Chain A
């Protein structure tokens, strides 16, 4: 009767006592790896392997993902660096090209015995009605209307409107431009008038005069605006078949007027300049 009433408590107590004995025994004698323990370890090994494989797989995938994230970050940084370096390279190239252009411009001083003022082109108007450049030098820099403007190898126009810090350059190809010129080879004179996209039209050259395509045209120096001998262009077209006294001649300017970035303004002849300096001294 007693056992029936308290069998739960007795069972629990007995098992706890057994566990306590097991613990005490192991604490006292340290049995190490018994058969049961070995069996448990053997049974656990496959589970452990499966879990480890899964965990390792997930871990590797995660590491790969992190690595890829790192790669993406590196890639982004490298792209950004490449862009910055390309920008820098472009700046260097631009600087190099500018230096080359300026070097060429400065070589004008070796070719012509004049005083030059360098200016940067800040605007272009290559319209049908007007072919002009706008440069960043003006009266304060010693510029005056009418001064010839050159780029290597020769003349491109003259100053028309001069303000304090900027000026307008009337290009040779503008229809309002007229320059006294001569054919360098035969010394035949004429007037080069702007003809827009065709360059200049060489006017008042009689048909009997010896002019050939490729002849170099230079300033004649008769107008007192342009010094003698400035290169203007080359004869690109000649027609003597038309009616009239004069040949129809086209002159192509030496300089590419659409890509001019810096110019030299011919301020005075070198002798005048030297004289002025002496007076000032």
Chain B
């Protein structure tokens, strides 16, 4: 229960931190996608309900604080969570290079989705602004996610004695990362 109480605050804190750090380090032309990394982490490590809640809250907080259309990043984060969640059922999610690769793909997909949405819905071409930095952005996200996963893995090790693995992973009939 405590997870659901603290989650909105943690999400807001993370998004604020993300916006502030991006402004300090890159003056806004790159984003430290900590919320996306958290969603990817949720996709790999958390169960469906907790993960969906996290993706929704994180996306909604990002929508509210970034000034994007309400629901835009909520949808993207949900889609990314679901994608990662189903991917994590089929692969060994302890491998850091897999996490880095998945993060890279997710970040690229997110950038592409933003460009496509703006192009189809608003008839506004963002490709000139977003696509040149999307690769760099994706690389940064994958590096961040590797670091994030490493830190979380250490934290889990300290707390539980081993990396957490939800029963739901095996319940869906997928391949456990432990097997």
User: A residues touching B (Cβ–Cβ < 8 Å)?
Assistant: 8, 11-12, 15-16, 19-20, 22-27, 31, 34, 36-37, 40-41, 43-44, 47-48, 51-52, 55
Q: List B contacts of A44 (CB < 8 A).
A: 12, 15-16, 61, 64-65
Number of interface residues of B (CB under 8 A): 32
CA distance A26 to B60 in the complex (A): 13
Q: List B contacts of A52 (CB < 8 A).
A: 20
Given the contacts A47-B16, A51-B16, A12 and B48 also touching, CB distance less than 8 Å: yes
Q: Is the CB of A16 within 8 A of B60?
A: no
Given the contacts A37-B64, A55-B20, A47 and B70 also touching, CB distance less than 8 Å: no
What distance in Å separates the Cβ of A18 from its nearest Cβ neighbour in chain B?
9
Q: List B contacts of A34 (CB < 8 A).
A: 70
Within 8 A of A (CB), among B42-59: 48-49, 52, 56, 59
User: B residues touching A (Cβ–Cβ < 8 Å)?
Assistant: 8-9, 12-13, 15-17, 20, 24, 48-49, 52, 56, 59-61, 63-65, 69-72, 74-75, 78-79, 82, 85, 121, 168, 172
Q: Is the CB of A23 within 8 A of B72?
A: yes
Interface on chain A toward B: helix, strand, loop, or mixed SS? helix
Identify which of B9, B49, B71 contacts A25 (C-beta below 8 A): B71
Q: List B contacts of A55 (CB < 8 A).
A: 20, 24
Q: List B contacts of A41 (CB < 8 A).
A: 64-65
CA distance A36 to B61 in the complex (A): 10
CA distance A43 to B60 in the complex (A): 13
Report, nearest first, the 5 A-B pairs whose CB atoms are least far apart.
Answer: A23-B71, A22-B71, A40-B64, A19-B75, A26-B70
24 contacts between A and B (CB under 8 A): A8-B48, A19-B71, A19-B74, A22-B71, A22-B74, A23-B70, A23-B75, A26-B71, A27-B121, A34-B70, A40-B12, A40-B64, A40-B65, A41-B64, A43-B9, A43-B12, A44-B15, A44-B16, A44-B61, A47-B13, A47-B17, A48-B16, A51-B16, A55-B24
Q: Is the CB of B13 within 8 A of A19?
A: no
Q: Is the CB of A27 within 8 A of B82?
A: no
CA distance A43 to B61 in the complex (A): 10
Q: Is the CB of B74 within 8 A of A47?
A: no
Q: List B contacts of A24 (CB < 8 A).
A: 71
Given the contacts A52-B20, A55-B20, A19 and B12 also touching, CB distance less than 8 Å: no
CA distance A92 to B20 in the complex (A): 60
Q: Is the CB of A16 within 8 A of B75?
A: yes
